[in-house]
Amino acid sequence: DGSAPAVFSVGSAPTPTRMPLLQLLNYIDGRPVASRSTARTEVVDPATGEAYASAPDSGEADVDAAMTAALAAFNSFKRTTPSQRQGFLLKIASAIEAHADELARLECKNCGKPFLLTLDEEIAAAVDQIRFFAGAARQLEGRAAGEYMEGLLSMIVREPVGVCAAVTPWNYPLMMAVWKWAPALAAGNTVVLKPSDTTPVSTLRMAELMGAILPSGVFNVVCGRRETGRLLVEHAVPSLVSITGSVRAGREVAASAAPLLKRVHLELGGKAPVVVFADADLETAAADIAVAAYFNAGQDCTAATRVVVEAAAYETMVALLAREAEQNTKLGSATTMDSEGVLVGPLNSRAQLERVKGFFDRLPPHARVVAGGRPAGGRGFFFEPSVVAGLRQEDEMVQEEIFGPVITVQPFADEAAAVAMANGVQYGLASSVWTSDHARALRCCRAFDFGTVWVNTHIPLVAEMPHGGFKQSGGGKDLSAYGFEEYTRVKHVMSKL
């Protein structure tokens, strides 16, 4: 209807140099709620570098209120039938679809994303994922009931785990929230979610849309910084903690959850190898890799940013990737983020811009910047699409997650070396292999130590298939029936006949 959502209010009187900031509220027990903490955090538009909203930096009292509401709601929500929960999720999916433009606008201003890409690739995908979990609510499977001991009938019951605490990242705030609350609610749990302190806006609006459909207390949002997240994780109420974030954040969450032996679901960082053999279609590979690397300004744990190329094709691939970065990849600006064809937006924050710049400041002498390598200049936190060649396996750019629009390129001698280089990082989230040799592709799929392996493509995700990593990339799966089961517990019931 065009009116301002209730989770927003206008405050902070304007000055000659500053517009009033939107005052964001928490969402607890089915309604927007002012924080009991007076601390606030500014929310900045990354495309302009200007603050436009203020969010609560919630404290213990806020977290406790959200947990109390979620626990009270769980006592009845856990008794709902699968068909009832399916109905809730389908209505939410339709509500988000009906407000797709609005949510995309909020997401873009908060994250600096290109509008058309966000509408088509993120909001639409989130709606599809909610509908998948709506169907999954009625498809839980277990071992068949049977008489495994004479005179005693055994059966398996899958139950919701309870209240789930969720912490979401700043790169895909709306979609990552969906990945957590959709399977949790489908299984009969209730949720308290903390979005990133830099990107709370779309999550709060989504919570309001959900609140018009769900019983009060089933879904709650508490804003804040790292300390708020710690309070969520350490609170006595939640039985499961789910986070998407950095390896550092995952370790902190696991440590905070350990005293009460809470279940943890960790989707952490990545450093995806993109292994290209000389027999691949190099032109097509370079074009596809560039899109998979620069999408969301490279701020994606699965981004195709670590390219490893067979020596015979190395220089050709370096040149092709440089051409993609300089000629075929459209970088946005503070005034063009709605333009058609824009692929690369700004980085999330000034801190992230400085972090990416720091990798270039520390480049070793043997590295060669063949495209980009510097901030774009002007307003906002834009960084040029970049390609760096000449790197060695031990170099920082190869080993550490950059989280920016940067492709590194390394040569390899043979298949064994390619596998060793692909696996030679602490991460194990996603990978790809590019070749026209089917047997070789399957050998690489077997050898790569990553939760996802793509063949002659990189980055597509579907709701029906699991997403999750190995090693320092965490444990547990998102999406799919496997992701759904993460939010359930198994009970054995045995009855005398």
Q: Which positions are catalytic?
A: 267, 301
CB 429 within 8 A of CB 452: yes
Query: Buried b vs exposed e over 321-337: b needs ≥16 C-beta within 10 Å?
Result: bbbbbeeebebbbbeeb
Helices of type H across 362-395 = none
Tell me if 23 sits within 8 A of 9, measured CB to CB. Answer: yes
Under 8 Å CB-to-CB from 60, ≥6 apart: which residues? 231
Pairing mode, strands 263-267 and 470-471: unpaired
Look at residues 415, 408, 414 and name the one whose alpha carbon lies nearest to residue 321: 408
Task: Report the C-alpha dihedral over residues 200, 204, 207, 208, rounded to 10 degrees.
Answer: -170
What DSSP letter does each residue of 471-494 carry, written as one string? ETTEES-BSHHHHHHTTEEEEEEE
Walk across the sheet containing 40-45 and list its strands.
Answer: 8-10, 22-24, 50-56, 40-45
